[in-house]
């Protein structure tokens, strides 16, 4: 999200000088890192423990997929929190900056970046423990105008995430649905593809703005 609380335009807001501006924004860095810490907290949510196969996360180096990692703010926090991180983004300008910064990171060996389309992740089946996505999930359908195209794309992504996740893998997506209709579009795509889950809102009456989708592989 931008500092003036308006949704940026994809990919225009993340290429060339815009990518540099994003990466150099202290506000953006604080916001993204704060949100990532919240996503980690939700990853260990007790309600997720009881969904599908009952389990409890341990204190170990889980492999986390940072979906739409951008310039690496979220990946940095995940690595510093003790996870092994695979950051994926489709934009070269953003990923280049993430890789450049990673060289100076004390947890450099814990982070691996991949240039890839979120719709077609080049990862092996059952290879990822958990998935976190910060302020990126909206953009996978941002260029789709027809409902059928949006549904197809969302189903592809949900199916792909299900395949790469290990048994009972968890997913935390922070995103900004514009209304209840779009929120249902996103959540139903996962429920149709063998995930259980629920939405966390800062305000129960909230119909748009920042929300968190917490999921667990059946």
User: For residue 7, what pLDDT is reported?
Assistant: 61
CA distance linking residue 55 with residue 138, whole number of Å: 29
Mean pLDDT of 77-84: 94
Lowest-confidence pick of 69-73, 119-123, 186-190, 203-207: 203-207
CA 60 – CA 37 distance, rounded (Å): 17
pLDDT band of residue 3 (cuts 50, 70, 90) is very low
pLDDT band at 108 (very low <50, low <70, confident <90, very high): low
More confident site: 78 or 179: 78
Question: How far is the C-alpha of 24 from the C-alpha of 17, rounded, in Å?
Answer: 11
Q: Edge-to-edge strands of the sheet including 63-67?
A: 111-115, 84-89, 63-67, 128-134, 165-175, 211-217, 195-201
Measured between its terminal Cα atoms, the distance across the chain in Å is 31
Between residues 108 and 151, the one the model is more confident about: 151
**For position 1, what pLDDT does the model report?**
46
Stretch 147-163: mean pLDDT: 95
Q: State how far the alpha carbon of 117 is from the alpha carbons of 3, 23, 140, 160, 206, in Å.
A: 26, 21, 9, 11, 31
Q: Calculate the average pLDDT of the chain.
A: 90
CA-to-CA distance for 194 and 8, rounded, in angstroms? 31
CATH number of 12-217: 3.40.50.150
- Residue where the block lists tokens 């992504």: 157
Residue whose tokens read 């290990």: 166
pLDDT of residue 190: 97
User: Hey, which residues does 108 pair with through a beta bridge?
Assistant: none
**What pLDDT is stored for residue 204 in this prediction?**
66
Give the H/E segment covering residue 65: strand 63-67
Q: Mean pLDDT across the stretch 136-150?
A: 90
Report residue 102's pLDDT band, with 50, 70 and 90 as the boundaries: confident
What token pair was written down for 78? 């995940």
Give the global pTM: 0.92
Helix (H) or strand (E) holding 201: strand 195-201
């Amino acid at each position: 999200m931008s500092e003036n609380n308006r949704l940026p335009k994809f990919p225009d807001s993340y290429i060339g000088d815009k990518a540099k501006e994003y990466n150099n924004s202290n506000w953006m860095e604080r916001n993204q890192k704060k949100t990532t810490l919240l996503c980690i907290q939700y990853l260990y949510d007790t309600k997720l423990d009881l969904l599908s196969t009952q389990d409890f996360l341990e204190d170990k180096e889980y492999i986390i997929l940072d979906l739409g990692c951008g310039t690496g703010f979220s990946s940095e926090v995940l690595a510093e929190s003790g996870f092994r991180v695979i950051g994926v983004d489709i934009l070269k300008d953003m990923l280049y900056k993430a890789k450049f910064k990673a060289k100076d990171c004390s947890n450099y060996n814990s982070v691996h970046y991949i240039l890839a389309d979120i719709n077609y992740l080049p990862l092996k089946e059952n290879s990822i423990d958990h998935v976190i996505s910060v302020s990126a999930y909206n953009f996978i359908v941002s260029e789709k105008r027809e409902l059928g195209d949006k549904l197809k794309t969302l189903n592809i992504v949900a199916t792909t995430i299900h395949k790469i996740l290990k048994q009972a893998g968890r997913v935390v997506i922070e995103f900004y649905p514009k209304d209840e209709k779009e929120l249902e579009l996103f959540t139903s795509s996962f429920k149709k593809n063998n995930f259980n889950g629920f939405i966390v809102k800062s305000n129960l009456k909230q119909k748009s703005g920042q929300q968190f989708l917490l999921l667990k592989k059946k």
